[in-house]
Structure 1
Amino acid sequence: MAAAGAVAMLGPVRRPRGGEGMTGPLAGIRVIDVTEGAQGPWAGALLADLGADVIKVEKPGGEMMRRSGPLKGGHALPNAGLNHGKRNIVLDLKDPAGREILLRLIRDADVFMENWRRGVSGRLQVDYDVLAAINPRLIYASASGFGQTGKYAHKATVDYISQAMGGYFSLTGPEGGPGERPRFIAIDFTSPLTFVQAILLALLAREDSGRGQWARCSQLETMIAVGTVRAAEYFASGETPRPRGSGSAHVVPSQAFLAADGYILVECPREETWRALCETLELPELAADPRFDSNAKRVERREELLPILKQAFLRYSGERWLERLEAAGVPCGPVRWDIEDLYDDPQVVANGLLVDREHPEMGRVRTNAVPWLLGRTPAEYGELAVAMDRDRDELLAELGVRGRTAATADGDARP
């Protein structure tokens, strides 16, 4: 007698879609995505925007972002933005029938994405060795907080914990003050980019070898990579970097200055831009002052120089300063205090950096475009995150499966 929730497997695995109708650079690539949160799901969504057929395998009860506000039309906006462009099927991987369907999907897949805590994939019997034996061409892509080995390998994390442990808090805050929590979720949305890079590199290597591999990426590795400049500063000087407000440890001036009506940011990376700044500020004597005639001297004497510059910037509005500085070739820009200002900026609009997507209950929702612009194979933007299990019948039909698995709790399989 068949067990409850059993399915009948009929015929060979087929790939009738495989990017059909898609023209993006990843058209024809199939991705199985079992990730949760932000790090994995947004990476999967980016792959979908680039043309991959991404199948979101969701646990019964739904992944964590389906319960994360704010809501629109009863739907979680974070989930809509992080899981767009994907087909969806619910599988209980603790149930043999659900696991068997996943293994059938793996036979015809190019990429498998997971961000479970270490040990979960082994308990579910879907670790790299198991899946690679089924499909030697598979790219098994693992995202984690702290890597697959070492003291913290089993540790769960979220963005702010990663930033705190990665040293970001110690670098953020007013000059001379204690470190403080950054106001922006950074690692959750930079680590997906490095996750995508790891997957693309593995796919590229497969073109030569014909074989897949285990591709790994972590938030810790991402933090170490993007902290390159501060690491060099520390290893070269032996001094621990400290908060400097909006300023730079190695370039002066390079910070926000208060104008008559708000802040602007100015940097002088070369001596010619320093001289141009002095002329624009109507302080030509500063350019010739031997105390400030090199960046090294300006860094050393920043406490003498910055009050002079701050006083000068108060004379005119930010817009007037920006016009004059840009004309003089000095790197500068407005400080966007309001995110609405950013998204209404004509440069953002002109470069198509926002995308309108439709949802049957939420209506129109605006999301960010992918950060890569390709002339011949541009991104194609699909629908917002769909309802749980919406594509079950379609996917089972593609696999030649008759029957539906039972949906039971799957509380362990979390990142």
Structure 2
Amino acid sequence: MAPLPPPLAGVRVLDFSRMLAGPFCTALLADAGADVIKIESPDGDDARHFAPRAGGESTYFLMINRGKRSVVLDLKSEEGRRAVHELAAGADIVVENFRPGVTARLGIDYASLAAINPKLVYASISGFGQEGPLSHRPAYDIIAQAMSGIMSVNGPAGSGPNRVGESVGDLIAGLQATWAILAALHGRERDGRGQHLDIAMLDSIFSIMMTALSQYLFTGEVPGRIGNTHPISAPLDSFEAADGHLIIAVANDTLFADLAAAIGRPELAVDPRFATDQARKGNEAALKAVLEGWTRQHSVAEAVAALEAARVPASPILTIDQVVASAHAKARGLVRTVLHPVAGAIPVVPQPVHFLGSGELPIRPAPLLGEHTDEIVGNVAPH
């Protein structure tokens, strides 16, 4: 059978977003074949100015704006607004992450653009939503993390609150926006019109904290920081080996019996302290001491290999360079190479889902500032 075209081929996106949450969303849409037109001010997206740089271009910008076309417009000018309105007439999706109220002042808000094209799916990403007592506040990722509750459960026991080591507020909001856009596109096919989507970073982080919320909402117990351990099951933790640390993850009694046998201690499976998951969690410190008595006698590689042979989930703790160099990353195509007109051959990390009917989806580099202005603004007829 002939491969299918990219799933979003023929879909046009107007991208007014900058920095991370919105651009991550539109990069995912571009990966799936959408024509993403990035509308930038004459100074460009702030992310264009971040270090490090390759060929004078921000590598951060190159990573999260792959596959898009760049148009420079002054949205404060009548000419710029007119061009946007003409582009909106032929678009399917709009993505913006201005603070609430800014788009109305610029004349590119949902009401204005939907009056031109009622079929638009318009996604607004902000820190706290378009409505609510916090909607007026600006937000960076760390603020959304702080106010969502995730920092309160992240980090070692006894430590202060810890930020998750990636910009998960931006990235999760971008993911939430992406699925919501696709759901609204499907609804548009049924109903004949688009709608306005309101995505908040705080809400997006809060909604994924299933373990912590299941504890608090049903028991009233406020979860705290427990490091690498799991709040319910044991052993799920990091363990010291002769040359580093590894992860052992066991969440049922059958797996624990396999683990006990693999380390030469089958009697542990019937020890009353460890015979059930609840008992193991209640005696976690004693269990960790027993397990580290074994792991410290082996290298990480030896311990992981022995546990893998016993079908016990275990892994090394890899650094970023080790992940990139791994056979898994290479086989799965986690990092690909594209040719940029200034930076040359550069790595990109596209969305990770394999559309098996479409084959490997094409990936294009991030655009130069205003690279496609003449091409697009000079030809704004609906696609």
Q: Shift of residue 397 of structure 1?
A: 2.8
- Rounded to whole Å, the distance in 2 between the matches of 1:339 and 1:90 is 35
Task: Verify the 8 A CA contact 1:58 1:90 in the aligned structure 2.
Answer: yes
For residues 67-106 of structure 1, the aligned pairs below 5 Å read 67-106=49-88
Describe the superposition over 1:301-336 as per-residue Cα deviations: whole angstroms up to 9, x where unpaired.
213222222222111111111111112111111111
1:49–1:379 Cα contact (<8 Å) kept:
no
Q: CA deviation at 1:191?
A: 1.9
1:324 maps onto 2:312 in alignment: no
Q: Quick check: 207-216 or 248-257, which moved more?
A: 207-216
TM-score, normalised with respect to structure 1: 0.88
CA contact under 8 A between 2:150 and 2:206: conserved in structure 1? Answer: no
* Residues 378, 132 of structure 1: alpha-carbon distance in 2 compared, 3 angstrom cutoff: farther
Matches of 1:173 and 1:193, distance apart in 2: 24
1:391 and 2:372 aligned: yes
TM-score (norm 2): 0.95
Amino acid of the structure 1 residue aligned with 2:98? W
| Identity level (%) | 35
Instruction: Provide the residue aligned with 1:272 in structure 2.
Output: 254
Query: 2: CA distance between counterparts of 1:232 and 1:357?
Result: 43
* Residue of structure 2 equivalent to 1:368: 349
Is residue 2:97 matched to residue 1:119? no
1:153 to 116, 121, 135: 135
Contact 2:88/2:116 (<8 A) preserved: yes
1:124-159 per-position Cα deviation (integer Å, ceiling 9, x unaligned): 122111111110111111111111111211111111
CA contact (8 A) 1:262 1:318 kept: yes
Q: Whole-Å Cα distance in 2 between the matches of residues 248 and 160 of structure 1?
A: 24
For 2:277, which of 295, 305, 314 is the aligned residue? 295
Q: Which residue of 2 aligns with 1:341?
A: 322
Pair 1:109-2:91 in alignment: yes
Structure 2 SS opposite 1:256 = strand
Q: 1:64 aligns with which of 22, 46, 50?
A: 46
Amino acid at match of 2:113: L
Q: C-alpha separation between the residues in 1 aligned to 2:178 and 2:359?
A: 17
Cα contact 2:128–2:200 (8 A) shared by 1: yes
Q: Deviations over 1:36-93 (max 9, x none)?
A: 1100011111111111111011012111101111111111111111111111111111
2:35 aligned with 1:35: no
- Which AA in structure 2 matches 1:212? G
Cα 1:47–1:234 change in 2 (3 A) is same
Q: Is this contact kept in 2: 1:62–1:388, CA < 8 A?
A: yes
The corresponding residue for 2:213 is: 231
Of the structure 1 ranges 151-160 and 176-185, higher mean CA displacement relative to structure 2 is found in: 176-185
What is the Cα deviation at residue 258 of structure 1?
A: 1.0
Q: Say which structure, 1 or 2, has more relative contact order (CA 8 Å, 6+ apart).
A: 1
- Gaps in structure 1 of 5+ consecutive residues: 1-21, 401-415
Amino acid at match of 1:27: A
RMSD: 1.5
Contact 1:166 1:224 (8 Å CA) reproduced: yes
Correspondence 1:129-208 to 2 at 5 A: 129-208=111-190
The structure-2 alpha-carbon separation of the partners of 1:102 and 1:379, relative to structure 1 and needing over 3 Å to count, comes to farther
DSSP 3-state at the match of 2:38: strand
8 Å CA contact retained: 2:168, 2:205: no
